[in-house]
Amino acid sequence: MAAPMPVSPLAPASFPDLPVIKGVRFASAAAGVKYQDRTDVMLAVMDPGTSVAGVFTRSKTRSAPVLDCQAKLGSSADAGAAILVNSGNSNAFTGHFGQSSVAQITTAVADATGLPAERVFTASTGVIGEPLPHDRIVAKIGELHSNLNEGALEGAAKAIMTTDTFAKGASATVGIGGQTIKIAGIAKGSGMIAPDMATMLVYIFTDAKVGQADLQEQLAEICDRTFNCITVDSDTSTSDSLMLCATGASGVDATGNAEFAAGLERVMLDLSHQVVRDGEGATKFVEIQITGAASDADAKIHGLAIANSPLVKTAIAGEDPNWGRVVMAIGKSGAEADRDLLSISFGDVLVAENGWVSPDYKEELGAAEMNKQEITLKVDLGLGDGKSTVWTCDLTHQYISINADYRS
């Protein structure tokens, strides 16, 4: 078994105390998918009436589990649902073997739970291009089913980790009309992280009652402001999956409710930030605020151009207030910009304005901002009302070390 990596310096102090979500139970086990004696498979089983929504990678080489999940969305909620996830192998670029593995795992879960196969969703994460040893997973399904427990969400979070250095969880409690609903979610992701989802698996559960179509619309909209606004290394995975399950066990109808939407967004934003904080080799958490763009879409393009620039990210790693690299990234983004209208700030330190370095700027002030563990870069384009915020991390030698040895 590979030695565990040091926990990210940006990690939360501990895994959060997540509330129990009525209507869903969890279990995890060590199946030996890649390493022996490492928890690497989790099962979640939801009660009848559970609505399931999902957003997935738009990669043209997406995996067999992703394609299977996409095909099953919108199926009847009458029988409940199940999700089985393994780490250690992504079951991607595996041809007909990938489809066969999904079918055999799905059938085994359906047999154990009594669910129809079209309500069993699977996901795999890990190495691409190697056949999934699905027999090892199938052999653990009886054990998983026997150990299902509504309080075992933290164990599920640990089971889906690959190069993650910490398990990721977040929750929210929302009041609606004097009644309470709960939301809790887990995520994995550390490298191969870019918008259009990323090498992420995210599972969010709520006891609210929401129809599938409304849940799907809400999830996709919030995803564009959260998970699709983060990047670690500009690479989009074959396996990205984000699923949201509403069990309805609270009896509280949250359809179209603004408080529920806000709570869901808090959970998704928290989880997406944790993914960035666990970026492979990361030592800095970076928020990039773009204002004054010709449109919101242009603002996001500029923000991601800065966030994905290796030169910007390595300057941040070296604590170098190199604002010229920010100018470079804006210029190459393809979105509308005017050199002589730009202003750039590091934190509250105005660095450049009107196409030139600010007359009041002092290098030591910029350097002090770069020395911080959490950094804010602000750019105003001076063109309009468009704005966007994206999040990223620095790029260090450790990122190369992790990925150079990933398959070993």
- C-alpha 23/C-alpha 182 separation (Å) is 12
Q: Is 84 exposed, middle or buried (0-12, 13-18, 19+ CB in 10 A)?
A: buried
Q: What separation, in Å, do the N-terminal and C-terminal C-alpha atoms of the chain show?
A: 11
Asked if 199 is an active-site residue, the reply is yes
Strands across the sheet containing 241-246: 51-56, 241-246, 201-206, 179-188, 168-176
Cβ-contact 46, 75 below 8 angstroms:
no
Residue position matching structure tokens 């040893």: 133
- Give DSSP secondary structure letters for 210-223: --HHHHHHHHHHHH
CA distances to 172, 342, 368, 387 from 382, rounded to whole Å, are: 37, 6, 26, 11
Joined together, the tokens standing for residue 25 give 């139970």
Joined together, the tokens standing for residue 9 give 């310096």
Pick from 268, 77, 252: nearest CA to 182: 252
Contacts of 82 (CB under 8 A, 6+ apart): 43, 44, 45, 46, 109, 110, 113, 115, 119, 120, 121
Q: Which of these is catalytic: 199, 226, 236, 238? A: 199
Pick from 94, 181, 183: nearest CA to 134: 94
Q: Which residues are annotated as catalytic?
A: 199
